Structure formats: structure tokens, C-alpha cells
Amino acid sequence: MIKLRRKAAPNFGRRKLGAALGAAVAAGGFLAACGSSSASSTSGSTTTSKPIVIGISLPLSGDFSADGLAFKQGYEIWADYVNSHGGLLGRQVQLKIISDNSDPAQAQTDYQQLITVDHADLVFGPFSTLLTIPAAKVANRYGYAMIEGAGGGPSAFALGLNNLFDVSAPVANALVPAAKWLASLPVGQRPKTAAYPTSNDPFTEPQVLIAKKIMEAAGIKTVYFNVFGSEVTDFTPIASAVAASNADVVILGSVDVPTVSAFIQDFAQQHYNPKALVATGGPDQGSQFIAAVGAANANGVMVPNTWYPGASAPGSNAMVSTYIKKFGGTVSNVSADVAEAYSVGQVAAQAVTHVGSLNQKAIIQYLHSGVTLTSVQGPVKFDNLGENTAAAIYGFQWVNGTFKQVLPLSDPNSSGLLYPKPNWGA
């Protein structure tokens, strides 16, 4: 029998622990820096003139990686389209895309590098309000216009930067169509109670608070309201508490697919079937959402947005076709992120073409001039804060495997709304 007594030799003391953790941090920093330095580009250059370099930082890894990839695809098909139609100002467009690992500090560093080291002619926005805020600050410091498609949280505009332009609809009002519809239902159908679990993200919380206010004004009692941190990975206790509240409807402040998927799974396990589930983000991710929750569980789930693959805005169908040609898949693979990124390119191109140069000051002035521009998401007109006042927000719903526009009911393109939502798995 071997005597099992530990000797001091390979002892793992506190000093070693400190050194080890220090090494881990150093390694993380070094490898993150290596990761962020990898770049991809799209050129397709056919002219001899110097290409226009567009600098972009995107979350190609980390929490927003799925959205980051969709944004990258949107930017790339826009660049391909422009280059195949003579480029911008007669020059080809070249994208310089680097990854920020979903980290605001890295996004800040990336834009600093893109502007001061890579001397980008234009910069396009990253994904999410969280990453747009530091990015816009850097761009503002150097006088660059920051045109973006997914940074429309109120906290971004609260900065008061005159270089920030969000081509998508203002985030804060995204849930208004759904909230107004629920509030306007006949008394017999109107929900009596509602639950509002939301992430503390600048994208989600403002939307949920406005929806809550509208619904409470209509007499819909709040039986659950809680904010959870973005670092939460286990949603079971939160979802179970919502299920225990037995609210008639759930307004979920989510930024991604895993969050919505976790709530739906727990609701199904708890046999809790709300009449409506409206999530701020996640269900708009097309086939990714279906792959995570299953088509049967997706049935009836709603999400606000400005675009969907069947949208009628000029250029939308062509963009979808180009996407499928370049990346494969089907229409359902094209997420709203692609359209948001594509719209950024469209708006920037119109501004540059009108100004006739890459002069940032002139571009910013033009975008603030009140002119109405076009995009695959619909018209774009900026107010003095850079919010798109011309954008319309719609409510979408998964109906028997199809992502359909269902709100507002008065819109001719809205139809077939499922209410109450079918039971999970039905």
C-alpha cells in the first residue's frame, strides 16, 4: 500500500498562483491582440486607381459573433455590388474588417488603428449599441462620419455626437407596435397580466420600459419585471420565476438566440404557455433561431424589426439574391443584420456620391441636411442626433415556419397574426 502523503516539492503556493494568473492575463492580452490583427478584405479591383478603404470593426468572435458574421456578409455583398457597378467616385471599394471580440475596449482600439494607422477613407459601424458607443467616440475625435446599422440604443444618441448616423429605426420605439396592439385588443382578448424579463443591455432595456409603460396604461398589470446581467449564462431561475408568475404575455429583452432559446425551453418544460411572447432580439436571426428552438417552438414567437426577406423596399430582393449567390443557403438564411449592414453601405454611397469626395465634414453636413435617402430597409432621414426619423418599425412573427410581417395591423403587408400563440411544440 502506498502511503499517500503530500510532500512540499510541487506545492502550488499563492505566489505561484499570482504568477500563473498574471501569465494567463498576459497570454489573453497577447492572443487577443494577435486575433484582432487578422484582417480580411474585399476588393475585386478592376481599375488602376487607388481603392477607397473602408475600415470596419466587427464582433467576429465572442458574444455577438453570429451577428458580427451576418454584418460582415452584408458589408461584403454591398461592396461587391458597388464594385461591379463602377465603384464609388470611379474607384473600387476595399473593406478592411478586423475583429473586436465583442469587446467595447477592443472596438475602440480597432477604430483608432483603422483611422490612424490604416488611414481608412471611411469607417462603417460595428454591431450593437455597446460597441458603437466607443467606436463613434473615436470616429468623432478624428472628424469621421460614423454610419452604422445596429447601434441605435438611446445611450448612443445621448452622447450628442454629430458624426453618428443610424440607418435603422431608433431602438427605443421598437416594441411600440406590439405593445400598442396588445393594449388595443378587445377587453375579452386583452392580456390581464404581463412579465418583463430583460437583459441590462442598452439595446433591450429602453425598449422594454417603453412597452411596459404603454401596456400598464392600458390596464395590463405587471406581475414580473426584472433586469438580468449580460453575463448570465443560466437562465433557468429567471425563466422559472416568469413561468411561476403565470403572466398572460411575456415581453423579453433579449439580444441573442441563446437567451430566447433558454426561456422557451424552460417555459416548455414548465408547461407555461403565454398568449404572446415578444422578444427584442433573437427570433429575427432566421434559420439560426429555428435551429436552436425548433420550428414547432418558434410558432407564434414575435420580434420587432425593420426588414425581412420578403420586404418590398427597392433593392431588397436583389440583395437577397446576391446573398444567396455568394453565400449559399435559402432566403431564411438572410437575417435582418445583413440588411442593416447593406443599408449602411447604401447610405454612405449616396452621401459620398452627392458630396463628390471623401471629405468627412461635407459628408456629415450632407447627412444632417434633412435629405431623404434610400436603403433596402426603406427611407432614411436623419434628425440632429443622427436617428433615422423616416424608418418604420414592424412586428414580425414566426407562423408555421415562415417569418411574417404581422404588425401594425393597418399596414397592407401585415397579415395572419397568431393570437393566442399556439402551445409550445404545437
Partner 1 sequence: MSNFLRAVIDGVLTGSVYALMAAGLTLIFGVMEVINIAQGILVVLGAYLSYVLSVHLGIDLFAGLIITIPVMFVLGVGIQWGLMRRLGEREKVSMSILVTYAVAIILEGVLDLIFGPGYLQLTAWYVNQSIHVFGFYLPYIYVFGFILAVGLLGSLYFILYRTEFGRSLRASQQNKTAARLIGIDVNRVAAITFGIGVAVTAAGGMVFGATTAFNSNSSADLISRLLTIVILGGMGSIGGAMGASVLMLVIEAIVSTYWSPTWATLVFYMVLVLVLVVRPAGLFGQKAVRAQ
- Residues near partner 1 (CB under 8 A) are 1-2, 4-7, 9-10, 12, 16-17, 19-24, 27-28, 31, 35, 60-63, 65-66, 68-69, 197, 200, 226-229, 231-234, 236-238, 240-241, 244, 256-258, 261-262, 265-266, 268-271, 285, 287-288, 291-294, 297, 424-425
Residue 104 burial by Cβ neighbours in a 10 Å radius (0-12, 13-18, 19+): middle
Can you tell me whether residue 143 is helix, strand or coil? coil
Considering the complex, state which of residue 70 and residue 194 has its C-beta at the smaller distance from partner 1.
70
Can you tell me whether residue 359 is helix, strand or coil? coil
Can you tell me whether residue 256 is helix, strand or coil? coil
Considering the complex, state which of residue 224 and residue 366 has its C-beta at the smaller distance from partner 1.
224
Closest CA to 223 of 195, 192, 249, 198: 195
SS (H, E, C) 267-335: HHHCCCCCCEEEECCCCCCCHHHHHHHCHHHHCCCEEEECCCCCCCCCCHHHHHHHHHHHHCCCHHHCC
Considering the complex, state which of residue 126 and residue 378 has its C-beta at the smaller distance from partner 1.
126
Q: What is the largest CA-CA distance in the chain?
A: 87
Considering the complex, state which of residue 5 and residue 119 has its C-beta at the smaller distance from partner 1.
5
Can you tell me whether residue 222 is helix, strand or coil? strand
What is the DSSP code (8-state) at residue 156?
H
- Please report how close the Cβ of residue 214 comes to partner 1 at its closest, in angstroms: 23
- Please report how close the Cβ of residue 303 comes to partner 1 at its closest, in angstroms: 15
Considering the complex, state which of residue 60 and residue 220 has its C-beta at the smaller distance from partner 1.
60
- Distance from C-alpha of 152 to C-alpha of 281, rounded to nearest angstrom: 13
- Please report how close the Cβ of residue 63 comes to partner 1 at its closest, in angstroms: 7
Considering the complex, state which of residue 245 and residue 388 has its C-beta at the smaller distance from partner 1.
245
What is the DSSP code (8-state) at residue 376?
T
Considering the complex, state which of residue 68 and residue 149 has its C-beta at the smaller distance from partner 1.
68
- Please report how close the Cβ of residue 360 comes to partner 1 at its closest, in angstroms: 32
- Please report how close the Cβ of residue 68 comes to partner 1 at its closest, in angstroms: 7
- Please report how close the Cβ of residue 138 comes to partner 1 at its closest, in angstroms: 24
- Please report how close the Cβ of residue 1 comes to partner 1 at its closest, in angstroms: 8
Contact (Cβ atoms closer than 8 angstroms) between residue 423 and residue 266: no
